[in-house]
Amino acid sequence: MEYVIAEMDGAMIPIVDTFNKTDEEGKTIDKRKTREVRWTEGRLSLAHPKGSVTPVFGATLGDQDEAGNQLAHCAILSGAGEQTKVHCVGDGAPWICDQVDRVFGPQAGFLIDFYHLCDYLAAASKRCAPDHPSAWLEEQKQRMKENNGAWWKEDNAQNMLGLRTLRANNNWDQYWESFYKKAA
């Protein structure tokens, strides 16, 4: 098999805990009255061969590594082997990117889904185009739809790598604050 498409995401799952309690007279209290509710993250995954509309699903309340192992298992059940390329799609959460890298290594690539990419671009628009953030955002969305946003000309690649490094080192805001001070 040449390609497998895989996805992983987190979702908040409502959990109810009940307790055995007694009242002052020693009678057992109805567990429906002793319940406590909380939320925990469930981790969901799926994989399918390229072109297939029948994915293999997985879900766990386990930790991130368990979710990564589950994603790999879904890919294997979908036909992935040692030579299969795995194309992963997700919201860009660092834990998901880390797990894709951990379980698939160089066999995989990762793409942020369009919905979340637009969220990230909307947040950046206020810094990238403070005078016209909406127009800038619409232009970037159109570029993404035309498939021009993921490719860099060689003379721009170093600048793009620099920006990605700034973000990875958590220096994004500091850089732009410094940039605007110099421009003023």
Q: Are residues 93 and 67 in the same domain?
A: yes
Same-domain check for residues 91 and 11: yes
Verify that 130 and 95 share a domain, yes or no. no
Out of 112, 138, 168, pick the residue that ends a domain. 112
pLDDT of residue 109: 92
pLDDT score recorded for residue 36: 85
| Backbone conformation region of residue 26, classed left if phi is above 0, alpha if psi is from -120 to 50, else beta | left
Does residue 61 sit in the same domain as residue 121?
A: no
Residues 172 and 155 in one domain: yes
Using CA of residue 143, residue 147, residue 151, residue 153, what is the dihedral sign?
Answer: negative
Considering the domain architecture, whether residues 9 and 88 belong to the same structural domain is answered as yes
CB atoms within 10 A of CB 24: 5
Q: Is the pLDDT of residue 71 over 60?
A: yes
Task: Check residues 83 and 163 and name the one with the higher pLDDT.
Answer: 83
Boundary (domain end) residue, out of 54, 77, 112: 112
Distance CA 72, CA 142 (A): 33
**Measured distance CA(127)–CA(178) in Å, rounded:** 12
Same domain membership, residue 153 and residue 68: no
pLDDT category of residue 31 using cuts at 50, 70 and 90: confident
* C-alpha–C-alpha distance, residues 80 and 60, integer Å: 21
Last residue of a domain, one of 112, 127, 156: 112
Domain count, the chain: 2
pTM of the model: 0.69
For residues 49 and 85, state if they share a domain: yes
Q: Are residues 120 and 106 in the same domain?
A: no
Domain residue limits at 158: 114-183
Q: How many residues make up the chain in this entry?
A: 184
What does the pLDDT read at residue 151?
63
Evaluate if residue 175 carries a pLDDT over 80: yes
